[in-house]
Chains A and B, each alone.
Chain A
Amino acid sequence: MTSIGTGYDLSNSVFSPDGRNFQVEYAVKAVENGGTAIGIRCKDGVVLAVEKIITSKLLKPGANKRIATVDRHVGIVSAGLVPDGRHFVSRARDEASSWRGVYKGPIPVSALSNRLGSYVQAYTLYSSVRPFGVTAIVGGWDSEAELAVDGQVGTGPNAGSGGKVEGAKAGGPGLYMIEPSGLYWGYYGAATGKGRQAAKAELEKLDLGSENLSLLDAVKEAARIIYVAHEDSKDKEFELEMSWISSLDGPTKGRHEEVPKELLEEAEKAAKRALEGEDEEEDEGTKSNEGERMQE
């Protein structure tokens, strides 16, 4: 690596002569070793999924959740340093709650992502901190229903609130991915972590831009993609964790929830079947034997 030994990579917030912040690039390295995390956005909801490598037989199965609920309608999954991921989620919860404090309503997913992007970016500016070792995927559903006036105790006037346009479309799904640099984009399908290349390739095949995939199918695709992405580290066992947020008339009623057990099992079964059908001729065991267990 050209960065090593130059002295420009020893502190955060320092540019190298060719304009790079190496500490941020190193943080990305931490992400690239983490378990694969993906998000799929479709017309009627969002699915989040993560591959959890089982580092020990002694771990309690099914516990140790990695997808977090931020507000009723938003979930976050991340790849990289797990404790940094928790810090990120905790900030997201604070933002969502302070938004409610000011605006008396749920924070739009876009606004939340924007604020988190700014927060993460701030950790690239100072030598007194290090950047986040996570790339996080934020998924949520902005309610399409008219918001009740805050503290509405009665039914209020029957006419709509001021400026209301009849039949105007409001709300919908939101999916964003925030990187250690603070950079973020909106996505139809997002992937990060070790298996991101394979996962991205699979996501691109889904043609998510045309919004034809249903939420239920997206759950199955998400499971399959995690299984495909896991092919490269086949020697390790893993657990699949998935959550979803549907529209108000969908299965989760606009809330972020774990995918129900039966559906999860069904999706995993289908994923395994799909994999067996495929040709599995890969022998690239990218092994890294780091002693630490901060990333999973």
Chain B
Amino acid sequence: MFRNNYDNDAVTFSPQGRIFQVEYAQEAVKQGSVVVGLVNKTHSVLVGLKRNAEELSSYQKKIIEVDSHMGIAIAGLASDARVVSNFMKQQSLSSRMTYGRPIPVDRIVTQIADRAQTNTQQYGKRPYGVGLLVAGVDEAGPHLFEFQPSGMIHEMLACAIGARSQMARTYLERHLDEIESSSRDELITHGLRALKETLSQDKELTVDNTSVGVVGLAGEGAKGKIESFKLYEGQQLLPLLETVEQQDSGETKEGEGMEVDS
């Protein structure tokens, strides 16, 4: 039987100029549960679907605060994500220490991407098996970046990675204009609705399986220039999920409210 000989390590090109090990690593991202990210003119939002290994186990963390102006959402190998996020935390702290400023988002994203690239060009290393969405604010405003194990990074208006994320992307593409001009709260709702699109028939968004992260520029009258990264989990999610529910029932017919018990 034919065997692909070009996929044993990350330092071998296939005759077409592809690196299979890197492509396989991208598959690991697709195995992870979905995360969605989106920006408007003032805020950057991350939304994630948490999975639990079994009924009685806890849910896997999907969104991590890196610094007060930045957070990440992960899809793929959580242990790799921890390595990357620890590095990001160190770099953020070091920037605050040496320059007294929060690290610019594109700068730190490029740093992790450069590390990821190294893992694709040296024998004995493997590419990271995790994809990230990085949401943050800096002097240039709110940002959302997508990071891939290949070391590819893209600044996005909206993005979704992980299992069944295509549905979310379709939703985001369809609502791109609304998202751009939305308010902070509408942005979160769009994120949750995009996430909802990816669910299979028997699943629902609950306070247990959902995670929301928000960071942005501070509104008028607020002290400080930024609204620090805030993670919404558990009961804090109730009003957010209710808004989604109201919108959906408004669109179809007024059904019974979603069960949000755990």
Contacts and interface: CB of A to CB of B under 8 A. Distances in A.
B12 A10 contact: yes
A56 B155 CA distance: 11
Contact of B11 (A28, A90, A130): A130
Interface in A29-67: 29-33, 56-60, 63-64
Interface string B154-186: 111111000000000100110010000000000
A290 B19 CA distance: 11
B18 A293 contact: no
Given A30-B13, A57-B176, A130-B13, A86 B155 contact: no
A63 B17 contact: no
B121 A3 contact: no
B154 A59 contact: yes
A9 B17 contact: no
B79 interface: no
Nearest to B150: A294
A23 B110 CA distance: 27
Contacts of B123: 127-129
B124 A128 contact: yes
B85 interface: no
B152 interface: yes
Nearest to B38: A58
Contacts of B19: 130, 133, 292, 294
Interface stretch (B111-119, B212-220, B252-260): B111-119
Given A23-B13, A31-B17, A84-B121, A10 B156 contact: no
Given A59-B157, A64-B155, A294-B22, A83 B15 contact: no
B157 A60 contact: yes
Contacts of A294: 19, 22, 150-152
A12 B8 CA distance: 13
B26 A83 contact: no
A130 B18 CA distance: 12
B5 A10 contact: yes
Contacts of B154: 56, 59-60, 64
Contacts of B124: 128
A259 interface: no
A32 B117 contact: no
Contacts of B117: 83-84, 86-87
A130 B22 CA distance: 13
A291 B12 contact: no
Contacts of B158: 58
A133 B22 CA distance: 13
Interface string B1-32: 00001100011111111110011001000000
Task: Give the interface size class of chain B.
Answer: 35 or more
A207 to B, nearest CB: 33
Interface in B118-172: 118, 120-124, 144, 148, 150-152, 154-159, 169, 172
Contact of A11 (B12, B14, B16, B169): B12
A57 B177 CA distance: 11
Contacts of A87: 114, 117-118, 121
B157 A27 contact: no
Contacts of A82: 151-152
Interface string B215-244: 000000000000000000000000000000
A1 interface: yes
Which residue among A56, A64, A292, A294 has the maximum number of chain B CB atoms within 10 Å of its CB? A294
A238 to B, nearest CB: 15
A26 interface: yes
Given A57-B176, A58-B176, A87-B118, A292 B15 contact: no
A147 interface: no
B13 A59 contact: no
A26 B15 contact: yes
Contact of A292 (B121, B150, B156, B172): B150
A164 to B, nearest CB: 41
A130 B12 contact: yes
Contacts of A58: 156-159, 169, 172-173, 176
A294 B120 CA distance: 11
A86 B157 contact: no
Contacts of B17: 26-33, 133
29 contacts: A1-B15, A3-B15, A9-B15, A26-B16, A30-B13, A33-B17, A56-B169, A57-B176, A59-B156, A60-B154, A64-B155, A81-B150, A83-B113, A83-B116, A83-B120, A86-B110, A87-B114, A87-B118, A128-B123, A129-B122, A130-B10, A130-B13, A133-B19, A290-B18, A292-B22, A292-B150, A294-B19, A294-B150, A294-B151
Given A4-B15, A57-B173, 9 more contacts: A10-B5, A10-B12, A26-B16, A29-B13, A30-B13, A60-B157, A83-B114, A133-B19, A292-B26
Interface of B: 5-6, 10-19, 22-23, 26, 110, 113-114, 116-118, 120-124, 144, 148, 150-152, 154-159, 169, 172-173, 176
